[in-house]
Structure 1
Amino acid sequence: MMKYSSNPPEDLLASLPRQEGILQPYCYQYQGFWHGPVGLKELIHCQNHFLARKNDIFLVTAPKSGTTWLKAVIYALINREACHPQDPHHPLLTQTPHQLVPFLQYVEASCYDSVCNSLDDSGTRIFGSHIPTVSLPESIWMEEGAKIVYMSRDIKDTFVSLFHFANKIDSRPSPISLEKAFDLFCRGSSPSGAVWDQILGYWKESLDKPDKVLFMRYEEMQNEPLVQLRRLALFLGKPFSQEEENSGVPHQIINLCSFNTLSNLEANKKGNILRVLRNDSFFRSGVVGDWKNHLTLEMASKLDQITEEKFSGSGLSMTT
């Protein structure tokens, strides 16, 4: 893996393939995926300095594929003994999921060891990320006890959500049209994209390393949240006891982390994360199949065709 001793110099950026981005004016291709200039610098810094620990949990998604929701769910799940999901002072009621579960590549190297988002003495660190498999810090793959949870989402809904998100943030000098964003997305020029390649990478790792990587689907989490929550808890070594089941703890976690609950909290309505991202920009609809309200039949067909071609022979199906 090609790595650099510090943030990439301008001559490195100049040497990389560059094209227009959906979220930013330009993005650069690094290790086969597209990244904005700031995100790329942070990624390379992370590759060079981050060391995984045995209890670490990494939740990974393509942007706009349920990241905020999954952060909340895993945080509530891991901390349910120290902080009951019905506690009126639960951290998720006053802080955003992104405050409680930071994005790995945006944590300063000097702060890695001080990340503490488990409320017990386990030392578990929970990080979010959009990083493709080939670009994750090597120590994450080498540390046997570290776990990766990947959640995919129907490509059409992912694109629609990304398009709306792009026009809510401050990193674009002007709005981007649906048609322009669609063209860039199809060419793979989306953050940490092409999204198909990212999904396929984690799908294959989940087949090769089922104890290391759990592959989840946004739609299944929506349709059968309790089944998927129990599956997630078992994978993370935190299965629900019979007593917890009888007292309704799984239901309470789902309710605490629901779109309606999180989107109506004051903490998620005001303020910014990473300077250019408003907290309320992370909540739009969360509805499965919302693409039908925004895409033409031709657009939907093209995305389905690319998806079918990309995933052919992998055993993975993503269209809904």
Structure 2
Amino acid sequence: MAHQQLSLRFAVVSSEEDDREEAIDELIASLPISKSPIRPVHSLSQNFWCPILVLPNVIAFRWHFEAKEKDILLVSNPKSGTTRLKALVFSIVNRSGFDISNTSLLTSSPHDLVPFIELRECVSNLMPELDVPAEQRRLFSTHIPYPYLPESVRRSDRRIIYICRNPLDTVVSSWHFLLEMARSEDQPGWSLEEHFETFCRGEVLFGPFWDHITGYWKECLERPHKVLFLKYEDLKEDTIGQLKKVAEFVGLPFAEEEEEGGVIEEITKMCSLNTLKNLEVNRSGKLSPANTVVEKRSFFRKGEVGDWVDHLTPSMVDHLNSIMQEKMSPFGLQFKTC
């Protein structure tokens, strides 16, 4: 009898999963596809361009994910300081369990420790994998725009830490990163000019860039207890100050003894781009899970503010600045560019 009940339950679950996957496939098939030369191929879903490769997971996450009280979601546009933010927040949240001499960052990529929701394999198992006790603080990340988040996140006070970067450096960094992806797949690359034009049209990973940023910025203005809005340039300039802000926001402020003991400085040093870049775990291998072929080293290039000076022409700079002026200045958003 128990075996029959188990078989029946499995059949029901399998049927539900098949129906869900069929519904997702039908939805994706109905969406417009970008004609840009930039790869991977993107579909336009709810006014955002999402790589078809990960769209099933994005939709499944949006439809079925139930947020828990202590969840922390790290969000960014691609190539906006995501990797370093993951390392910093992971270290803050887990600092009572180990010190810098035995941190998991020495043996695991920040992207494995704080995985991208949209890169997880097996759509049908996505939600059960995240099913842990309510009292446990869960860390995960995404590039998903705010309007596309699950209702359980949007309509609750679950903590979101958002990081963005000035658009001039972002367009250059994203070009280098996508070229690395193309090379790893033996695909042809494209020029910076082609990438720039695509970026300015908004047809890039989870773009348009400006809508992605303003979506989280407006939520931060309305609910600052829910969304902590960081800028990569500020994190670079004052890492310790930003670390304290993050720790306060997630409810784990640094104690006076920790500050006097140099804990913040240790985390800052461990999570610097130079340290992370030179760790063996980040110098070889591919990002897991297996539905991406991105080399881990591709996540560590320069991380400098003002790198755009060596790549963009004056006319490119003027054009992108004019777009940002139109799209972001009404919301009071400005960026340091050098």
Question: With structure 2 as the length reference, what TM-score do the two structures score?
Answer: 0.87
Paired amino acid for 1:65: S
Task: Flag the 1:242–1:182 CA change in 2: closer, same or farther, 3 A.
Answer: same
Could you give the per-residue CA deviations for residues 150-195 of structure 1, whole angstroms, max 9, x where no partner exists? 0010001111000000110145721111111111100001101001
Worse-superposed segment, 288-297 or 269-278: 269-278
Whether the aligned pair in 2 keeps the contact of 1:57 and 1:125 (CA below 8 Å) is yes
Could you give the per-residue CA deviations for residues 183-239 of structure 1, whole angstroms, max 9, x where no partner exists? 110000110100100000100000001110000000000001111110111111111
Aligned to 1:289: 306
Worse-superposed segment, 186-195 or 99-108: 99-108
Q: CA deviation at 1:41?
A: 1.6
Q: CA deviation at 1:5?
A: 3.8
What is the root-mean-square deviation of aligned Cα atoms in Å?
2.1
Higher helix share: 2
Aligned to 2:81: 66
Paired amino acid for 2:90: Y
Distance across 1 between alignment mates of 2:38 and 2:138: 29
* Fraction of identical pairs, as percent: 40
Whether the aligned pair in 2 keeps the contact of 1:116 and 1:124 (CA below 8 Å) is no
Aligned to 2:198: 184
Aligned to 2:178: 166
4+ runs deviating over 6 angstroms: none
Whether the aligned pair in 1 keeps the contact of 2:145 and 2:215 (CA below 8 Å) is yes
SS of structure 2 residue aligned to 1:18: coil
5 Å-filtered alignment, 1:174-213, equals 174-213=188-227
Task: Flag the 1:140–1:172 CA change in 2: closer, same or farther, 3 A.
Answer: farther
Corresponding residue to 1:131 among 135, 144, 168: 144
Corresponding residue to 1:56 among 67, 71, 89: 71
Whether the aligned pair in 1 keeps the contact of 2:165 and 2:335 (CA below 8 Å) is yes
Q: CA deviation at 1:127?
A: 0.6
1:302 and 2:315 correspond: no
Aligned to 1:96: 109
Whether the aligned pair in 1 keeps the contact of 2:161 and 2:228 (CA below 8 Å) is yes
Aligned to 2:16: none
Q: Rg bigger for which structure? A: 2
Distance across 1 between alignment mates of 2:22 and 2:286: 25
Distance across 2 between alignment mates of 1:122 and 1:9: 32
Q: CA deviation at 1:24?
A: 1.6
SS of structure 1 residue aligned to 2:21: coil
Question: With structure 1 as the length reference, what TM-score do the two structures score?
Answer: 0.92
Whether the aligned pair in 2 keeps the contact of 1:117 and 1:124 (CA below 8 Å) is no
Whether the aligned pair in 2 keeps the contact of 1:7 and 1:44 (CA below 8 Å) is no
